[in-house]
Structure 1
């Protein structure tokens, strides 16, 4: 839909790409998530869970587990809360980004926290094992470390994408950040506190929520530019 008084030429190519790709990915991700969720509610077992657990147990060593224990902390509630506050302060007071970026970043992080808690209670899936040391308590589906990491690090990828950095640096940073976020999800498997389907659900739902927030932000910024041009 084109807003009255605007043309497609008024929108940056990056914004158009983010919105179009966002709609496609959100639809696919939501469909995938709810298909997994339906099977979880029916208390059926996933063959991929058993196969992945067996494979991880066959290659796991004490040093890998220790390394995964460190990586997983980058997706913990405490770390993401502190990091989010620091990033929000930077965006609001020290960056050249619109104040709306800070608003939607807060919605992005606060929303995923609330939604993940609701989903965990709704599906009430038991963990493969309970380890309080690695925040492996409560229900399992979807993985909270994964949803939180996807929306937090994913928003940083968005900020890098719309920044004025060079293309090569953007690609390098974004690939590194994306792989790191995925490693946090994988760490939950090596620590034995989640099934792979928990992590897959966390990626799909987290990505959906992230893109909804980014699309809403892009449309808000678009409208803000329209008003500025009119005045």
Structure 2
């Protein structure tokens, strides 16, 4: 056993990474299902107590009397019960944080910081797997992030939204996918980073950030958000979240295993996808608050069958694309 591990260190490391991801998501899912609602309730009560305590402080009272307009604005930003309050504030702060992290990652890549050394180390180790049978699995996974497959998913999702009479959901879908794709294209042109030397599936675009990693978050993340919003059961929502995260991670990991991108490219793609996903969710929630979208509906058997038909079509399209355009590149 030890000899096998020593001979297949890269494959063993990859298997351990996958196992850690699955275990982490399983533990997270278990914790959220069993302790999520009580924890949210506790946080909510704590937030109300803290807000009341701060409001009663003498200093805050004097400042509130002196600057009523400013404190009125702040109060609205942290108010519950409507989208433009606490929800929008949290989403905005989260996007600011993501932008700051992305800027830091860009600086590290441009200045050839330690992340670049890690990129080269990981790329060299992944190149050893080019003859492994596991490559075929990751080719199929990476095909889920290809342009033809993602365009098909967008079209099918738009059709589904029209069928269930929720057309305004399409706006958020397009904001997430088109916005992230355009942002990624501009960044590729700006940084013009070359792809890894031992690339398996020859690409003609630049490397940073990864388009597949971006679209995995922007598209599949938004699909996960849609499924969660349409679902009324908390347990199902948590499982849908875990599934969406796992799919996004696998697509990003496939770009590293196939040496299509460096690790920092994938991380950058995840950040860009998250940025536009949050923007799309904000737009969709704003439309919901204005009464344009009603997430509460009873799904008929025909509508459920349409969803599964779409899943099957995407699966078949992925197989066709991989066999016609991806596997031949492996030689």
CA distance in 2, matches of 1:80, 1:197: 23
C-alpha RMSD of the superposition: 2.7
After superposition, the Cα gap between the structure-2 partners of 1:137 and 1:129, relative to the gap in structure 1 and judged at 3 Å, is farther
Instruction: Tell me which residue corresponds to 2:80.
Output: 8
Deviations along 1:40-98, one digit per CA (max 9) or x if unpaired, are 3345562221332244346676112111111000011111011111101111x22253x
Q: How does 1:1-231 map to 2 (within 5 A)?
A: 8-9=80-81, 19-42=88-111, 46-57=116-127, 62-91=132-161, 93-97=162-166, 99-129=167-197, 131=199, 134=201, 136-224=203-291
CA distance in 2, matches of 1:136, 1:153: 23
Q: Secondary structure at the match of 2:133?
A: helix
After superposition, the Cα gap between the structure-2 partners of 1:130 and 1:76, relative to the gap in structure 1 and judged at 3 Å, is farther
CA distance in 2, matches of 1:183, 1:64: 13
Deviation of 1:19 after TM superposition, in Å, equals 3.6
Higher relative contact order at CA 8 Å, sep ≥6: structure 1 or structure 2? 1
Instruction: Tell me which residue corresponds to 1:228.
Output: none
Q: Secondary structure at the match of 1:224?
A: coil
> TM-score normalized by structure 2?
0.59
> TM-score normalized by structure 1?
0.82
Q: How many residue pairs get matched?
A: 217
Unaligned runs of 5+ in 1: 226-231
CA distance in 1, matches of 2:290, 2:146: 35
After superposition, the Cα gap between the structure-2 partners of 1:29 and 1:61, relative to the gap in structure 1 and judged at 3 Å, is farther
Deviation of 1:179 after TM superposition, in Å, equals 0.6
Q: Secondary structure at the match of 1:102?
A: helix
Deviation of 1:111 after TM superposition, in Å, equals 1.5
**Rg larger in structure:** 2
Q: Is the 8 Å Cα contact of residues 129 and 193 (structure 1) preserved in structure 2?
A: no
Unaligned runs of 5+ in 2: 1-72, 293-331
